[in-house]
Amino acid sequence: MIKNILVPQDGSDNGRVALDYGVWLAKKFGAGLMGLHVIDVVALEGPFLHDLSGSLGFEPFLNFSSRMREALELRGKTILAVFEEVCSSSGLLCESSIAFGVVPNEICEKAKIADLTIIGKRGINAKFEYGLLGSTTESVLRKSPKPVMIVPEAFKEPSNPLLAYDGSPTASRAMHSAAEWAKTMAMPLTVLTVSSQTDTDLLLLKNAEDYLRPYEIKARFVHLKGDPPLEIERYYKKNGHDLLFMGTSHHSRIVEMVLGSTTEHVMRNVDGPFFLER
């Protein structure tokens, strides 16, 4: 059950959308929100400052770095004040904090005391980054000790979730989360397996059906043959799904999506939030 939701805040539009999803989930689950703003030590102590001061022949940036830190801390407090105001106006319990360090590392450290981290695909530096995910988001996905929900650029309340299930331990945990969401929000749930091994997948679906039966949710179980990333994408779009649950493991093919081919393909080609179980 989700009771503590971490929503990192960087002042970007995507950060605000992540907060919108956090507010929505917190209301549904009766959870509290944790706001975190990280002041990047790379920006404060990075090679740019040292190289520039060295080229000038003295250390003028020792004081400048201190002033920059103060300015960034003030900006962080302003960002978190907005976070707290949104939570208060929504009637939600919240806490907020500022951390100094490497941004993804600090987010993952804070995630240890959260049940879920919600983060946008891109953050404040979206205009300067290339590829599918922002560098911070990708690092959080690789390092997070807890589930991560990656959200799109605009908020839309999901109503038709899909679980991509392959029987792995992380996929089983993703199924548990999907069941809790479907039960709490009175949503249907579709469980999809994709491979060429029909007998194995039918057994997986039977196990999933047995697991979900006590939740008393409206569930549908589907087996498809073919290439997993393509079939997941096609099924998701064809059936109007708007939320995807997946498990990630370095030993599972499905992990190749966020950190390789399968996850990357699906995330590039479908809209809506992703719940990724570690």
Choose among 258, 235, 261: nearest CA to 174.
Answer: 258
Average pLDDT over every residue of 188-213: 91
Q: What is the helix (H) or strand (E) element at residue 190, kind and residue range?
A: strand 189-194
Assess whether pLDDT exceeds 80 at residue 119.
Answer: yes
Assess whether pLDDT exceeds 60 at residue 71.
Answer: yes
Tokens of residue 176, six digits: 């548990």
b/e map 3-35, b = 16+ CB within 10 Å: ebbbbbbbebebbbbbbbbbbbbbeebebbbbb
Burial group, residue 199, by CB count within 10 angstroms (0-12, 13-18, 19+): exposed
Between CA 121 and CA 133 the distance in angstroms is 5
DSSP string, 244-272: EEEE--TTSGGGGTTSSHHHHHHHHH--S
Assess whether pLDDT exceeds 50 at residue 140.
Answer: yes
Q: Look at residue 52 in the predicted model and tell me its pLDDT.
A: 46
Residues paired with 151 in a beta bridge: 120
pLDDT confidence of 241, banded at 50, 70, 90?
Answer: very high
Q: Look at residue 239 in the predicted model and tell me its pLDDT.
A: 97
Assess whether pLDDT exceeds 70 at residue 260.
Answer: no
The CATH number of the domain covering residues in 161-277:
3.40.50.620
Assess whether pLDDT exceeds 70 at residue 186.
Answer: yes
Q: Look at residue 160 in the predicted model and tell me its pLDDT.
A: 97
- Give the orientation angle of helix 47-56 with respect to helix 61-89, to 10 degrees: 150
Q: Look at residue 56 in the predicted model and tell me its pLDDT.
A: 47
Tokens of residue 138, six digits: 């990708």
> Which has more confidence, 159 or 56?
159
Please list, in sequence order, all residues whose beta carbon lies within 8 angstroms of the beta carbon of residue 116, skipping any fewer than 6 positions away. Answer: 2, 4, 5, 6, 25, 146, 147, 148, 149
Between CA 115 and CA 120 the distance in angstroms is 17
pLDDT digits (tens, 9 = 90+) for 75-106: 999 999 999 999 999 999 999 999 999 999 99
Question: For residue 241, what is the DSSP state?
Answer: -
Assess whether pLDDT exceeds 50 at residue 147.
Answer: yes
If you average pLDDT over every residue of the chain, what do you get? Answer: 85
Residue range(s) occupied by CATH 3.40.50.620 in the chain? 4-151, 161-277
> Which has more confidence, 107 or 121?
107
Task: Please compute, for residue 103, the number of CA atoms within 13 A of its CA located in the half-sphere on the CB side.
Answer: 22
The CATH number of the domain covering residues in 4-151:
3.40.50.620
Please list, in sequence order, all residues whose beta carbon lies within 8 angstroms of the beta carbon of residue 61, skipping any fewer than 6 positions away. Answer: 49, 50, 52, 53
Between CA 121 and CA 110 the distance in angstroms is 19
pLDDT digits (tens, 9 = 90+) for 174-183: 999 999 999 9
Residue with tokens 């407090």: 77
> Which has more confidence, 266 or 187?
187
Q: Look at residue 46 in the predicted model and tell me its pLDDT.
A: 55
Choose among 212, 214, 184: nearest CA to 3.
Answer: 184
Between CA 1 and CA 29 the distance in angstroms is 8
